[in-house]
Amino acid sequence: MILGLETSCDETGAALVTQDGEVHANVVASQADLHARYGGVVPEVASRRHLELAAPVLSATLEQGGATLDDVDAVAVTHGPGLIGALLVGLSAAKALAWSRQLPLHPVDHLHGHVASLYLQPEPLEPPFLCLLASGGHTLLLDVRTHAGYDIVGTTLDDAAGEAFDKGARLLGLGYPGGAALDRAASEGDPSAYDFPVARVPGFDFSFSGLKTALLYAVRDLPADELERRRGDLAASYQRAIVRALVERTRAAAEDLRAKRIAVVGGVAANSELRSALADAALAPLALCTDNAAMIASAARFTHAIPFPEYLALDAYASAA
């Protein structure tokens, strides 16, 4: 049994996953409400909240799995990329748990974790496949050939897709985090009402900053009551442009790499329009799209563990570079 911990951003997660990918427990405590009033995640506030939530989330996870720490054979934890203070809370907790019980520790890369959300039961996906990873912090096209890793074939040149959703939602007065709210607002609007640009940069990279500016200009000129009336149309047209950019690039890369299978993971994989536009792809289960620890424990099944007690000096990293 692998105990996974995830604290890279504003979700405190713990999970129990077996070596063959069965999820026995998966608990996520979101801090979204805490950060909503600031319109985004405040790193220091996130770190302190992780500290308060780590122990109760762990207890809830053991209870959900009908397990005790005696059942845990290894600990897995996200050690980057993410908010450095937030990561250090999870990493310290993981080291303490592993060390106190003389267990091995698996450091897991958060992005590998998102991909590994596809390797869990009941329908584990087998590589090779081309993976679109679209989250609040990243937009990547990954050539996945083994369970243990991937090659990056495309990335965003500016904002991440989730960031584009969040910034758009903010401009439309839909609160934070706005992806899901924008998705809902879009379902009541006309996606062809506005002609927002779909950036086509060379290769398999993405760009979303021009789109965000186009929405800003469209919103800026509208009186408040008019914005209220056109909110659905604006959301639907804006979402259509993001989804088009994601789908076009993903299909082009799949063709170029002769990938037989496409997969989609990350918070934006929860988007309803993206899910129907890529209905033929392997889509991460809804509960595993946004940050969680089951995907971290899943990734650990395919990485080497650091034996007790060699991990005590292990550090976290904020960005992959």
Contact residues for ligand KG4 (CB under 6 A)?
Answer: 9, 135-137, 162, 165-166, 177-180, 183, 266-268, 270-271, 290-291
6 binds, among Zn ion, ligand KG4, none (CB under 5 to 8 A by kind): none
Judged by CB under 5 A, the stretch of 43-51, 150-158, 270-278, 287-295 that binds Zn ion is 287-295
CA separation for the pair 283, 289 (Å, rounded)? 9
CB of 240 to ligand KG4, least distance (A): 12
Radius of gyration of the chain, Cα coordinates, nearest whole angstrom:
20
- What type of residue is 308? F
CA separation for the pair 57, 29 (Å, rounded)? 7
| Block residue for tokens 């250090």 | 88
CA–CA–CA angle 266, 173, 183 (5° rounding): 35
Q: Which is nearer to Zn ion, 98 or 293 (CB)?
A: 293
CB of 149 to ligand KG4, least distance (A): 18
Q: Which of 78, 117, 135, 139 binds Zn ion (CB under 5 A)?
A: 135
Spell out the residues 6+ positions from residue 191 whose beta carbon is closer than 8 angstroms to its own.
Answer: 236, 237, 239, 240
Judged by CB under 5 A, the stretch of 129-137, 168-176, 199-207, 256-264 that binds Zn ion is 129-137
Q: Which is nearer to ligand KG4, 80 or 104 (CB)?
A: 80
Query: Is there a cis peptide before residue 191, judged by omega within 30 degrees of 0?
Result: no
| Block residue for tokens 């170029």 | 256
Q: Which is nearer to Zn ion, 111 or 185 (CB)?
A: 111
Q: Which is nearer to ligand KG4, 136 or 189 (CB)?
A: 136
Q: Which of 129, 160, 291, 293 binds Zn ion (CB under 5 A)?
A: 291
Strands lying side by side in the sheet with 105-109: 23-30, 11-17, 2-6, 74-80, 105-109
Asked if residue 292 binds Zn ion (CB under 5 A), the reply is no
Q: Which is nearer to Zn ion, 80 or 104 (CB)?
A: 80
CA separation for the pair 251, 40 (Å, rounded)? 32
CB of 105 to Zn ion, least distance (A): 21
The binding track of 83-122 with respect to Zn ion, each residue x by CB under 5 A or -, is: ----------------------------------------
Residue whose C-alpha is closest to residue 85's, from 48, 31, 135, 114 = 48
Say how many C-beta atoms besides its own lie within 10 A of residue 214's C-beta: 17
Interactions with Zn ion, residue window 173-212 (CB under 5 A): none
Residues that bind Zn ion (CB under 5 A): 135, 291
